[in-house]
Amino acid sequence: MTELAAAKAALKTQAVETPSWAYGNSGTRFKVFAQAGVPRTPEEKLDDAAKVHEFTGVAPTVALHIPWDKAEDYAALARHAEDRGVRLGTINSNTFQDDDYRLGSICHPDAAVRRKAVGHLLECVDIMDATGSRDLKLWFADGTNYPGQDDIRSRQDRLAEGLAEVYERLGDGQRMLLEYKLFEPAFYTTDVPDWGTAYAHCLKLGPKARVVVDTGHHAPGTNIEFIVATLLREDRLGGFDFNSRFYADDDLMAGAADPFQLFRIMYEVVRGGGLTPGVAFMLDQCHNIEAKIPAIIRSVMNVQEATAKALLVDREALGEAQAAGDVLGANAVLMDAYDTDVRPLLREVRQEMGLDPDPLAAYRRSGWAEKIVAERVGGEQAGWGA
């Protein structure tokens, strides 16, 4: 198989999971902005996600967020997804929106609050059983705002204890993905602030525990591709939350702020053998001022473009330049791949998959945007907290 054929094959099998909450209303800390046609139920979120998959061909799963996507019958919700041509994917927990969690959840100094938080996480595993989901994704807002507010080491002990209980509940083929975040909403200490903390806990838990890299959750200047390379080397990279940020966790479209960074990350994924089902590629985004579905389609396309460029790196030439100490030559090999216009290649890949070569144009022609605006009248739109 030629390098081009191999790249095409990899692009055809790539899968990018879209998040249910990206289809709902969102905004800033000051205002949530409503849009016409936004889903009112988990089923309608799945209907929109199905359109993204229909036109991109590489978004076959949808992540749920509990309780935002709470359902009476999760098996029925899974069937609804399958009827629309998609599947339910990662189950995301929520231990940050209840008043009880003001001082933390799984790390809270009160055992009763910790019990409530762990109970919710165990409920999420039950939902995984009902939906056939593989991954439980955990992100904790836990931390402190002031020195002396709580004991830093004790909070790590509580975190380890709670994670261990949930880990033991996981069934065969199920995984725990632990996410980290530099800061916010805790501003003095955050209990899982970086990949090292997440990795340390996962290492102690066992092979079903892996680290999630959210591309918006790092200090400016952080070399995210180094983190990715290291976690792949240790076989502990569970997946990504792809988004972009200019300042902090802005949750903008993947590749919008720094497409070169996304390319560098994807090169390390390709280099480390991470283009496999074992690494989950998920979007984690909030579309506040732009139309939801087109923004998600654009994000998927941006991930595809970064992946295509990463696949086109001449690794033999790169290795030779690196071995020879040819600094500029090695850099030039990477830049040649990054500067390649891969859009014609991706149009060709889509045509070979039986898709329209331009997913955004196909979506606009479909009439779906007009249909949901006309039909989704009344009820309560989904959004933060719903």
Q: What is the pLDDT of residue 3?
A: 86
Alpha helices in 210-258 (DSSP H): 224-233
CB atoms within 10 A of CB 187: 11
Q: What is the pLDDT of residue 383?
A: 86
Distance between CA 140 and CA 45 in Å, rounded? 24
Q: What is the pLDDT of residue 84?
A: 98
Are 351 and 14 a contacting pair, CB within 8 Å?
Answer: no
Distance between CA 267 and CA 315 in Å, rounded? 10
Distance between CA 100 and CA 295 in Å, rounded? 35
Closest CA to 138 of 178, 100, 105: 178
Q: What is the pLDDT of residue 30?
A: 87
- Which position has the token pair 């530099």? 182
Closest CA to 3 of 312, 272, 309: 312
State the DSSP H helix or E strand holding residue 90, giving kind and residue range, or none if neither. strand 87-92
- Which position has the token pair 């931390």? 143
154: helix, strand or coil: helix
Q: Domain 14-313's class? A: alpha beta
pTM score, whole prediction? 0.96
Cα dihedral 327/332/338/342 (nearest 10):
-150
Q: Are strands 143-144 and 189-190 parallel, antiparallel or unpaired?
A: antiparallel
**How many Å separate Cα 94 from the centre of its chain?**
15
Q: What is the pLDDT of residue 385?
A: 58
Q: What is the pLDDT of residue 285?
A: 94
- 312 DSSP assignment: T
Q: What is the pLDDT of residue 237?
A: 98
Closest CA to 301 of 346, 263, 240, 352: 346
DSSP 366-379: HTHHHHHHHH--SS
Are 283 and 300 a contacting pair, CB within 8 Å?
Answer: yes
What angle, 0 to 180 degrees and rounded to 10, lies between the N-to-C axes of helices 42-56 and 74-83? 30
Distance between CA 196 and CA 180 in Å, rounded? 9
Non-local CB neighbours of 55 within 8 Å, separated by 6+ positions: 297, 355, 356, 359, 360, 362, 363, 366
Cis omega (within 30 of 0) on the bond before 185? yes
Inter-CA distances, 63 with 55, 117, 223, 237, Å: 18, 20, 27, 18
Would you write out the chain's pLDDT as a tens digit for each of its 386 residues?
788 999 999 999 999 999 999 999 998 888 899 999 999 999 999 999 999 999 999 999 999 999 999 999 999 999 999 999 999 999 999 999 999 999 999 999 999 999 999 999 999 999 999 999 999 999 999 999 999 999 999 999 999 999 999 999 999 999 999 999 999 999 999 999 999 999 999 999 999 999 999 999 999 999 999 999 999 999 999 999 999 999 988 899 999 999 999 999 999 999 999 999 999 999 999 999 999 999 999 999 999 999 999 999 999 999 999 999 999 999 999 999 999 999 999 999 999 999 999 999 999 999 999 999 999 999 999 887 54
Distance between CA 210 and CA 228 in Å, rounded? 12
Closest CA to 156 of 111, 106, 202, 199: 106
- Read off the tokens for 166: 């949930």
Strand residue runs (E) in 139-290: 143-144, 175-179, 189-190, 209-214, 237-242, 280-283
281: helix, strand or coil: strand
Beta bridge partners of 242: 283
Q: What is the pLDDT of residue 248?
A: 87
Spell out the domain ranges in the chain. Answer: 14-313
- Which position has the token pair 């990054």? 338
Query: How many residues would you count in the chain?
Result: 386
Are 66 and 93 a contacting pair, CB within 8 Å?
Answer: yes
